[in-house]
Structure 1
């Protein structure tokens, strides 16, 4: 299975390549990219140089153009596709159906992957994208179980890629409006989920309080690791019970399920983390590279140390092992 690794900067890109990535995925420094944060991402020149470096090491590059086009300004996304193809991207990762149509019509030989942001999570949706736009691969949302993935794999004709480590989005990606509700900034349109500009921490007695926009997301007593404030990982009172309504503020880690994912028909394993630094990328990629070639008994020791790099210093198997609350 391919190991697909993140890069938010040229330095992280080189670290991912050197650490053993089969593929590095990244995006342009604009709203065509769902990680559109200050200080991240690539100019056209930086991407050209990074692709050349990857090619020299036998590594592929996927360019994420995974936001939805804004009516009247489609040219921004069209030009991003044109530039990604011109610079030698091995695949473009696309969420917007209109942009998929553009790729299919104007760059029919360009490999097209369906972004997780497209929220294609059933056989009919995926087969439609294959038939209509020639999609070669679908990145499945992080809400499916391994039996779900296996059932889908048996009935589609394109490849399957899944997330295995890093930030856990507990929603059907591409359909979440929580960040938009709290901050006015959309992950689907602006490329930002819970933007740092709207995040605040304050001390209240012995508690550290995290806030997003005008909303209190969590309170952490002394000694409890504090996660990044996103609404879907907030701690609230619901139906008379106080706790995490959707998911704990922890990172995804399903490397214990690699054999099951392989048997289910998955061909590529994706690490989340384009907002992370190059040290994180190097450590995670090199460890998971070794994990893929290790037997099941050796894997826990290899990946245990990665918990220290995870959100809240904890990890979860998400939908692979537990039910929704």
Structure 2
């Protein structure tokens, strides 16, 4: 096994399901009969190869259960129409939605698998017309397909990027509209290596794109993982040697700790703001609460507050 510090063998993810969902989430399963926080996201939220992902670390910091709705290889599409996820998130005291990459969602150019959003299913007639020289039956994954298209016709690729950004904003607004309680959009940058072809993670989700959806969230939290955390590499991660390269592309424990610390700081800030609005004896943030929409940026251990519309 490839691991350091934890002394573990194979990592038990405690995979679980909620309601009638067919999706497998990072466990252990949390009870939903007392106030809880829900975290929705993809690989980073799931915390592959990490014993304690940021959701578990957040739970330890804030003192109430955190339901990890992280799903491997998920994009926004996984969650938009998943009734069980929406029900769990709707019942949460607070929901945190990770900004996942825009490459893994269905759009006017191509269709992805409804649960494994990184899987490419088919190209539309429009995409085939733009790239008549490309055999789309050769692709299984969106990243591979997009990389080939960019190499084949870089002048046309901005059309695809633009479509994906528009689709991402539309899908994120839909997801937010289906979760009635307080919501935080979590934007993590620098946790994983940049894609050499498609660019930094979350792929195609620029600050301009984030600004377009910020008004439908109560807060936007930007976390830039520090260089020191990135230098930790796979220290503390648990993985078979055959998956070392994959593990190296995932955020390690140090990155998860920085994300958890930033989220805990924001949750505590929201709780204080809510007590000031309701009175000192009221509980912390409740579903349906009305927080002023503000954006927080955390970078290398420092935090700043600004309006959601700030550049």
TM-score, scaled to structure 1? 0.29
TM-score, scaled to structure 2? 0.30
Write 1 or 2 for the structure with the bigger share of strand.
1
